A and B are shown apart, each in its own frame.
Chain A
């Protein structure tokens, strides 16, 4: 990635600085570089130049891909960070994401109009569709064509091979009359070369996808949009942790301050795209304001934090399941997106779960009250377990929020404090999903079922909307308060959607980039 890596001087006022190189920052960096702009990405983590040698096939060693600066998690349902949802490094959380990339259900963007809850998204679904198609083609998404719940949709590559967890889910669902399909996965089922990208090898089903893909088959940003951005003239500066900004008398940002190897550097710029993820993005805004009380920030910053209802059920099977092999999550059903007997708004997806021993055992430790020999005996069942999980709608609630705590981290910056208290709707989704998942696993021959009540993904906190009164950015991600600031990451989602977020984040980021380019 470094061979033709262009660099820009600190005193050149570059067209844009992008903060963070995850699912939001990376496509945006590429689009702006493609348009000939001078762009610099500042990334807190390091660049992994050779994943085949840099990434060990080991869960503990690969925690180097997780965002490990401590966050304080509160509310009635504190969500887990770190390994559960937050990454660091050139590529952001996509380095260890599961690459399960369903599109949003169009109804989920209109929860207010259709079901009288939450808010509508300030955009048309058709707007998203063309970006979805573009991203899926660029990444090389593997999936069924046509897609059973949206027959107009097709994917560039055939589906990824199913692992055992998927076979078990399919068997259970077949018995119950629930339709399933191989899921859309952003990993290659065949060799692939997208226009403007590099040739990539297919998936070898090694199963350590959450620990970083070693052969570039998984479409993390470091093997897709980022090398393309560098080839188009963008600079990526790793190990550059943003701490502040400078503004001119009109309130426009003129420079971004960041810490690189213990030294504060200052990159001059004409525009800033904040893409640090749904915790660090509002944290940055709050830090900037703490350093400069004249910085205008509306009250919505940090509010409406959401994490998907991600109830999982696990069961033991007579035969071995070898969950460590194969792509982890490969089967989907969208049949529960609006079930007939629903007493809730929104819906949920069900996905099969392959899982590695430690990730699984940590859930056992949190969710099953086993201790002593009974804990050991159960953990020894790992070779025979399989699980299912949901990704369910979580409605926005302004009281669930990111604030700055009074505790300082190693950099001397206040640690973020996050609260999450789930409401009635989330409880009902959970109560609908629990027996459904149990029925599927039981029909497939599973026994000794147990439930793990969990939440996943970090969503909301700088939502987009049509009024400054109750949103942080406008429909294209532009800040209401600071004219040359845009936000493009998971924080702009007004509602959680049931779909896993990465694909929609990438689609929205390209849309934001196009809008920015048109406005220039």
Chain B
């Protein structure tokens, strides 16, 4: 039996181009990083999991791999904080700071370190790492929510719009409106 999500994905309510994109995301093969070094890679994965653990609910979005892919392809979001260096440099600097903090004598846990960074405790005038973390969080939540596992967890069906008529959608909105009363 196919899951309701897969049934919906295969139905004519989903446009072919949307289905292709979502299916590609489900079928992500084993990933070898292109930007991060072998030493950096486990740290990036651990940090991504610390920012957004994928256990409750269980999901399997390859956030770190997609961040690596974007850095390898030099894809950005169209802007960055002027206070930060270009993304490849910012990532390397941040990982170095994180590694050092986690390997010192009385090292904090990764969760505590994250919190400290978010509260600007590791910012320096030349590298406001809290701003880097903000961007990292944005990347992680984006790739997590783009993944079909997460859509299943949220019972998300926004992608199923191919056969919508004005009437269908209004009926759906009416149902919602009733629920709101």
Binding site for B on A (CB under 8 A): 52-61, 63, 66-74, 78, 80-83, 86, 161-164, 167-168, 171, 202-208, 214, 317, 319-322, 324-326, 356-358, 361-362, 364-366, 369, 371-373, 375-376, 379-380, 382-383, 405, 407, 410, 417, 419
Contacts and interface: CB of A to CB of B under 8 A. Distances in A.
B173 A81 contact: no
Nearest to A80: B79
A356 B180 CA distance: 19
B153 A380 contact: yes
A70 B170 contact: no
Nearest to B85: A407
B166 interface: yes
Interface string B151-165: 001111111111011
B173 A73 contact: no
B151 to A, nearest CB: 8
Most buried by A among B143, B157, B161: B161
Contact of B172 (A63, A322, A358): A322
Contacts of A70: 76, 78-80, 86
A362 B142 contact: yes
Interface string B45-63: 0000011111011000000
B146 A205 contact: no
Nearest to B114: A371
A125 to B, nearest CB: 34
Contact of B158 (A60, A321, A357): A357
A59 B17 contact: no
A82 B138 CA distance: 14
Contact of A83 (B78, B118, B157): B78
B168 interface: yes
A205 B158 contact: no
A459 B176 CA distance: 37
A379 B154 CA distance: 9
B180 A319 contact: yes
A59 B176 CA distance: 23
A372 B176 contact: no
Contact of B159 (A58, A74, A322): A58
Nearest to B178: A319
Contact of B18 (A56, A163, A358): A56
Contacts of A63: 77
B145 A73 contact: no
Contact of A68 (B77, B146, B165, B170): B77
A168 B181 CA distance: 10
Contacts of B21: 56, 58, 60-61
B138 A379 contact: no
B111 interface: yes
Contacts of A208: 158, 161
A419 B142 CA distance: 26
A174 B138 CA distance: 35
Given A205-B173, A365-B141, A371-B111, A73 B80 contact: yes
Contact of B177 (A57, A71, A167, A204): A167
A419 B155 CA distance: 41
Contact of B169 (A68, A326, A375): A326
A69 B75 CA distance: 9
A321 B75 CA distance: 33
Contacts of B138: 362, 365-366
16 contacts: A53-B15, A56-B17, A57-B161, A60-B142, A61-B21, A71-B78, A205-B170, A206-B161, A320-B176, A325-B176, A357-B145, A371-B137, A372-B50, A376-B54, A376-B57, A383-B154
Interface string B110-139: 010011001100000000000000100110
Given A57-B159, A57-B161, A205-B170, A86 B78 contact: yes
A204 B169 contact: yes
A82 to B, nearest CB: 3
B18 A58 contact: yes
B155 A68 contact: no
A320 B179 contact: yes
Nearest to A386: B180
Nearest to B19: A56
A206 B15 contact: no
Contacts of B142: 59-60, 358, 361-362
Given A321-B180, A380-B154, 13 more contacts: A56-B21, A61-B21, A70-B86, A72-B79, A80-B79, A319-B180, A322-B173, A326-B173, A365-B134, A371-B115, A375-B137, A379-B144, A405-B82
Given A81-B78, A167-B180, A319-B179, A74 B83 contact: yes
B159 A81 contact: no
Contact of A78 (B82, B114, B166): B82
A325 B172 contact: yes
A57 B158 contact: yes
Nearest to A382: B154
Given A326-B173, A366-B134, A68 B51 contact: no
